[in-house]
Amino acid sequence: GAGVSQSPSNKVTEKGKDVELRCDPISGHTALYWYRQSLGQGLEFLIYFQGNSAPDKSGLPSDRFSAERTGGSVSTLTIQRTQQEDSAVYLCASSIRDTYNEQFFGPGTRLTVL
């Protein structure tokens, strides 16, 4: 079946612009995660959605970052007033919230802020 998809695959923007990154999770997966992968920093948790519960935003680095998940499926990560330090690969993962919670990752969106 289809895996997690993300769009765009690459995004180049100018400092100060807003960007929206999209994630389509695997059908039936109730949990959705956003992670950021920066050079030399590994993967950092950003935000978590589970069903209709309030999202866990504890990993968002600043109030310029926000995310929503509509209808328990597609999610959009928005970065306002982008800064050069926002340049990274943004990864989305989804899972069935069971005991093992195996997370399936999408290919990521590479964001470059000039």
Partner 1 sequence: QQQVKQSPQSLIVQKGGISIINCAYENTAFDYFPWYQQFPGKGPALLIAIRPDVSEKKEGRFTISFNKSAKQFSLHIMDSQPGDSATYFCAASNSGGSNYKLTFGKGTLLTVNP
Q: Three-state SS across 43-104?
A: EEEEEEEECCCCCECCCCCCCCEEEEECCCCCEEEEECCCCHHHCEEEEEEEECCCCCCCCE
7 binds partner 1 (CB under 8 A): no
Q: With CA atoms as reference, report the closest residue to 59 among 49, 70, 51, 69.
A: 49
Q: Does 71 bind partner 1 (CB under 8 A)?
A: no
In the range 12-41, which residues lie near partner 1 by CB under 8 A? 31, 33, 35, 40-41
Site for partner 1 in 79-108 (CB under 8 A): 91, 93, 95, 97, 99-108
Toward partner 1, which CB reaches closer, 47 or 113? 47
The binding site for partner 1 (CB under 8 A) comprises 4, 31, 33, 35, 40-45, 48, 50, 56, 58-59, 91, 93, 95, 97, 99-108
